Chains A and B, each alone.
Chain A
Amino acid sequence: MSTSAGETRVPVMEAPNVLEFPFSRSTGPVIGAFMTALRDEAKILGATTATGKVIVPPLEYDPETGEATTGLVDVGSSGVVTTWAWVREPGPKHPLAKPFAWALIKLDGADTALVHAVDAGSPDAMSTGMRVTAHFKPEREGHIRDIECFVPSSGSAGGESGTPSGGVRTPEEVFSSGTAPNEGSADASTGQADEAPGPVRKISTPIELVYRFTAGRATSRFVRGLLDFKILGQRCPSCTKVYVPPRGSCAKCGVATEEEVELPTTGTVTTFCVVNVPFYGQKIKIPYVTATILLDGADIGLFHLIQECEADEVHMGMRVEAVWQEPENMVPGLEAIQHFRPTGEPDADYDTYKEHV
């Protein structure tokens, strides 16, 4: 039981599509304390549990029992590799630019293992059970990447800091024990923001992912049509409605739309709004009008600009026509049409567009 995706190959238009999530995340007391100790003390903290275990990296709740963890302890900055993988071709976002190992590392005093990178030079230098030591960045901000990587421990005994030290601490004790005693130092008026950044309350986790966007068959034909100064729609074989821009399917009937329909450049304003709000990246002087335009012969409105008249002259039923870009400015997209402008014809009868308001 299979369906072939189709026989005819159509040149499909493609463009880069970059998604960015410039988020910061609040850390809460436990992760915040971990990040603060990384930054201020170059120490790695674990969370103690009611069952006597130490979870590293620390969590607010014990994943085994669901109970809140009970406190924070320093664990060693050295530990044992419990499993590893060798990355031959690091990606640009990986912690190290040269080939490296990912490893799960059970730090001294911890009962669970932490994932990080190990700079070992060669996979031959890696083995399960080997000891590694954290290498901290000199400038730290309170982030998991304050640990630049781990390195194989020197000497057969391997590494420093065999046992946790200092006993159990509360998040508040961690927040106040480093070089950053002043909570609330974000207040610039104290003039201490640089010296005392305060507890880590959030981390920055920028995400950038680069995709390709492919338009698919129907949209590619539509866009190519625009470059030829044509507006191409598609008719649904079931309900006979004409979609523009076409998406290759009728959303209402759930069937493919194949029949192509060339539409005129004239239509009727079914609804509109006057934009008075300035925003970042705005290209047009306010106030301006965006409208839903029902092209003659189409059954779905097209969004576009209305220009060459005052904003307060635009109204429902107004007859408009497309103004194409100059050939030298043609672009593959709806901007191939500069805008719509009034034709000067009498208004369309309400009955001709009442289904579309």
Chain B
Amino acid sequence: MREVAVVSFAQSVPARRADEFNEVELLMPVVHQAVADSGIPKGEIGFTISGSCDYLAGIPFAFVSGLDAVGAWPPITESHVEMDGAWALYEAWVRLQHGDIDSALVYSFGKSSLGPLTDVLSQQLDPYYLAPLWLDSVSVAALQARAWLDAGHSEEEMAEVVSASRRAARSNPNTQLAGDPDLKELLAQPYLVDPLRRHDCPPIGDGAAAVVLAVGDLARSVSERPAWITGIDHRIEPHSLGARDLASSASTREAARRAGVGRGPVDVAEVHAPFSHQVPIVAEALGLDGGVEVNPSGGALAANVVMAAGLVRIGEAAARISGGSATRAVAHATAGPALQQNLVCVLEGDKR
């Protein structure tokens, strides 16, 4: 395997409604910053890939015009996944293993504020049995939350996750929800879709994120402390909700095993769990022990730019490595209803 590292990461400040900017205007400063911070001239980047979903803003083939933010001239090698940018990063990592190019730009963007997000996401479900019921994304998460509660957990645990997320988010400028909420007050809030309260659900946010990957000596030459990807894997479970154990995440567990999470101590983990009950489900499946710092950014409960939030987890974890405050980090991204598909990425800094 070729050594591949995250050498730069940029993100926009998520906004509840970024009406002043079209998707290109939203994305462009972020791409520019990631490329500038990488130290690699734009024209020398070997591969460009994005992750986004045209359904979010209701603009078919929006990902094609998203390329305007990059400047695809002279013609570039480019790809796109209709998924979170974390999966675009996976494809870029695979592409870099081919050996003929040494760097890649990965970006993602989403403007969920323009559409009925929870209905839009219902249309990713099985088109015969589920989408015609308009089973919305909050309700899917609520079905999972109940299954998790029934497996021996409590709503207090969910409130604790929310409270920890809000507190962590106070030191992160790129979040939407920060604070220090009292557990009793959280539990006194009305349900949105039982057993979920509004604060158990992620905020809606518009934004963008970008990462530059580089291999071996190039990464060492442009970055003082590259965040090496030492393991990466993604796994998917059956689509049918009734065919899965919703209270745990078998696909996260398998991806974590294959990515080698357990091969060493973990300093910090960034998990992409948009709903409160999903944080402990994912943390358990990753095999993290109680000493691991989970979501120092606040996680997806504090800011959730759909299609970018997973890539942001990798970027945040890499920033902890590059900044020197962590030696080994785990980043997780999810896609599909109720944690159907999960990606796990292990990042490490050079020993010093």
Which A residues have a C-beta under 8 Å from some C-beta of B? Answer: 1-6, 9-10, 12, 14, 17, 19, 25, 27, 31, 35, 55-57, 59, 63-64, 82-88, 91, 93-95, 102-104, 106, 112-117, 123, 128, 143-145, 203, 205, 207, 209-219, 247-256
Contact = CB atoms under 8 A, between A and B. Distances in A.
A211 B57 contact: yes
Nearest to B195: A85
B71 A85 contact: no
B223 interface: no
A5 B116 contact: no
Contact of A254 (B42, B134, B190): B42
Interface string B242-266: 1100100000000000000000000
Given A19-B58, A144-B129, A209-B119, A63 B243 contact: yes
A93 B196 contact: no
Contacts of A253: 71, 73
Given A2-B173, A6-B20, A64-B238, A83 B128 contact: no
B71 A251 contact: yes
A12 B239 CA distance: 40
A247 B191 contact: no
B12 A85 contact: no
B101 interface: no
A-B pairs, 6 with minimum CB distance:
A254-B71, A216-B22, A85-B142, A113-B242, A63-B238, A211-B58
Contacts of B33: 1, 3
A255 B261 CA distance: 40
B21 A217 contact: yes
Nearest to A102: B139
A3 B27 CA distance: 10
Contacts of B114: 17, 211-214
B12 A91 contact: no
B224 interface: no
Contact of A9 (B20, B29, B130, B319): B20
A88 B192 contact: yes
Interface string B87-99: 0000000000000
A88 B12 CA distance: 34
Interface stretch (B62-70, B163-171, B279-287, B326-334): B62-70
Given A209-B115, A252-B71, A216 B20 contact: yes
B150 A128 contact: yes
B193 A5 contact: no
Given A25-B127, A203-B132, A247-B22, 10 more contacts: A2-B12, A3-B33, A95-B134, A104-B143, A104-B147, A112-B243, A205-B128, A209-B115, A210-B116, A249-B69
Interface of B: 8-13, 15, 18-22, 24-26, 28-33, 37, 42, 55, 57-59, 65, 67-73, 113-116, 119-120, 123, 127-136, 139, 142-147, 150, 173-174, 190-196, 238-243, 246, 319
A72 to B, nearest CB: 15
B146 A128 contact: yes
A323 B173 CA distance: 50
A266 B67 CA distance: 31
Given A14-B19, A19-B58, A211-B57, A2 B13 contact: yes
Contacts of B127: 25, 205
A80 to B, nearest CB: 12
A15 to B, nearest CB: 11
A71 to B, nearest CB: 18
Contact of B242 (A56, A123, A203, A211): A56
A10 B13 CA distance: 18
B58 A255 contact: no
A215 B242 contact: no
B133 A144 contact: yes
B319 to A, nearest CB: 7
Contacts of B136: 91, 94
B29 A5 contact: yes
Contacts of B130: 115
A240 B290 CA distance: 57
Contacts of B68: 247, 249-251, 254
A156 to B, nearest CB: 22
B19 A85 contact: no
Contacts of B22: 214-219, 247-248
Nearest to B42: A254
